[in-house]
Amino acid sequence: MLDIDNTVLVVIDVQGKLAQSMHEKADLFENVAKLIKAAGVLEIPIVWTEQYPEGLGPTIPEIAELLPGEAISKVAFSCCGEKRFVEAMEELGRNQVLLCGIETHVCVYQTAIDLLATAYEVEVVADAVSSRAPDNKAIGLAKMQAAGAAITSVETSLFELLEVAGGEKFKAILQIVK
């Protein structure tokens, strides 16, 4: 089970033209936005990355405007290939990671594998990741699950973090997921 005090949200590379070429991109953008908004309500830290922004462009505006701080720029497919990402994760001292972003079978997959190898618990939010081709998304999810990552959804993860149906945070999350 995800623990609100031990979880970090990682948003991977929702950028430029690549983001616009994702399968079911409208659902992807909506679900990533829900996770970011909910993380704010639940006071869960967010670490976010951009893959070679000079070439792929910045994070799309509708997502970037919701994110705190600055993106961690990277060239490695795995976020763990960037020293600043590893340092940010270590500074947070949390060992449960919710992953969302693109592409499922490349950057999300390689990040999940590297995080699992360094003793993080990884949950991939299946309705908040995508690839250009649905088959590649399915392959990425299957490979991550086979390696030990849990596959979850936006609502499953958020209600798991909440634990109870009551209070102001619960009401705020209900408004986000509607």
Name 7's bridge partners. 96
Q: Of the residues 13, 100, 114, 137, which is catalytic?
A: 13
- Which is the catalytic residue, given 74, 114, 127, 137? 74
27 catalytic? Reply is: no
Copy the structure tokens of residue 58: 């910045």
Which of 147, 159, 127, 143 lies closest to 32, judged by CA? 127
- 8 A C-beta contact, residue 12 and residue 101: yes
- What is each CA distance from 155 to 46, 126, 159, 178, in whole angstroms? 18, 11, 6, 10
**Rounded-to-integer distance, Cα 10 and Cα 31, Å:** 13
Q: Is 114 a catalytic residue?
A: no
* Rounded Cα–Cα distance for residues 127 and 101 (Å): 10
Tell me whether residue 13 is one of the annotated catalytic residues.
Answer: yes
Give the three-class secondary structure for 7: strand
Q: Which of 107, 114, 127, 137 is catalytic?
A: 107
Catalytic residues: 13, 74, 107
